[in-house]
Structure 1
């Protein structure tokens, strides 16, 4: 499960959707939204390590800019954009937390989301100009990408898929859209993981529970695999389009629909 989390967190294929599918296919039970949120601490730690220089630079510039107006450059504004873009998912995540932990984890919902949202990714790749650079980001971009991130509350949509697609629709360069989306996810995912930590031991709904040792191992494995995955993905985006993942999403979603229709796996 941790390997799946590490491999899929940064790819536009939905890590939460894949964890729900894998846990039911291989373990005949749902690992649960809380387990998913906690293992994401490992992959977000990988983001912190990979983007350490960027994060330190942005935080330093933001702090300096608060005190001295002359220091309010691109990195200062980027710090504010991360804060602004984080607000929508924090609000909706708290408001719909019970639905997220139960209702939307139905495999029918996940399979349909995998297939349907692939069309959105394909459209973004098709019409995105990919001409805007980081110094052209605005607070409106942060709001749009932040709202797009809330779609990831539905397993099967994908956090990176929704934020990168939003960035492409806004005309951002593909790698910039991915990097901004990853930075935007850091505060929200860490908050979600820490908030969900107690529930991972005792799920509030039906599902598998985890011991402290299991969670610790899962976070460590997700960190190592995730660090390799984010490095590979950003290099991939420099030379390739998102269409590769569109094809995978359609194939995976269709396969799950077939398994559900034939009764091989249970939807809940």
Structure 2
């Protein structure tokens, strides 16, 4: 792939991974609007790893806390609060991991790369995000996470394996329904992504080892550029949500989904 193609993929992934508008859906649409070849699942996973590293850096304090919780879980140090959050994040990741492995082994992931499916999910889950953002109490913070909340948001995260759903969007939707503040719903969503994306990256190492040298180089470049775009987007979104609602993302999703249904 050319550098321009990799740049487009990286920017689209970095921006859409953290905005609740579906990164996988936008990645699938790139070939249709640019006449570029489909980048394939290897590049898709590489750019998700770039996003993973951006989360680690932006939420450095929380990431260290989760690491301390993991160490405390095996008897190294004492950090009961961090240990509790570590386990809730880990448990919340299980639904997506199990469903992801099931779909990968069954060979169904490629069958989801459909513009019609992306369009319908953009609209349906966009409207659901709008409803969740408008109703219910808004008092809970990331530190208030319970096992129940982790499981519910984790189940929602599993739905994001279907393109057009949006991992950040559907997990923020679930968190908002559970009573989390906007910024805290986003923080909960991003930190919940860490184990799932790390797991996907681990599985990708096997595919990367079998790839050609050019494919390996393309994946490295795409992942690095995604890291930069993702970090900038995350910083923007966390500031934006302190002063605004999710309405602009809901409108964007509905308009894009409708346009895709008409166009294709």
Q: Can you list the C-alpha shifts for 1:150-189, whole angstroms capped at 9, x where unaligned?
A: 0110110000001100000111111111111111111111
Aligned partner (choices 245, 248, 265) of residue 249 of structure 2? 245
Q: Can you list the C-alpha shifts for 1:125-159, whole angstroms capped at 9, x where unaligned?
A: 11132111234321000000000000110110000
Correspondence 1:167-206 to 2 at 5 A = 167-197=175-205, 199=207
What's the RMSD between the two structures over aligned residues?
2.3
- Structure 1 CA distance for aligned equivalents of residues 242 and 89 of structure 2: 23
The answer on 1:39 being equivalent to 2:47 is yes
Instruction: For structure 2, list consecutive stretches of 5 or more residues without a partner in the other structure.
Output: 1-8
Q: Can you list the C-alpha shifts for 1:208-235, whole angstroms capped at 9, x where unaligned?
A: xx72221111011100111101111111
Q: TM-score, normalised by structure 1?
A: 0.87
- Structure 2 CA distance for aligned equivalents of residues 52 and 152 of structure 1: 25
Corresponding residue number in structure 2 for 1:136: 144
Correspondence 1:1-268 to 2 at 5 A = 1-64=9-72, 67=75, 71-73=79-81, 75-97=82-104, 98=106, 100-197=108-205, 199=207, 211-260=215-264
Q: TM-score, normalised by structure 2?
A: 0.89
CA contact (8 A) 2:208 2:216 kept: no
Q: Cα offset for 1:196?
A: 2.9
- Structure 2 CA distance for aligned equivalents of residues 236 and 135 of structure 1: 21
CA gap 1:70/1:213 in 2 versus in 1, 3 angstroms: closer
CA gap 1:33/1:129 in 2 versus in 1, 3 angstroms: farther
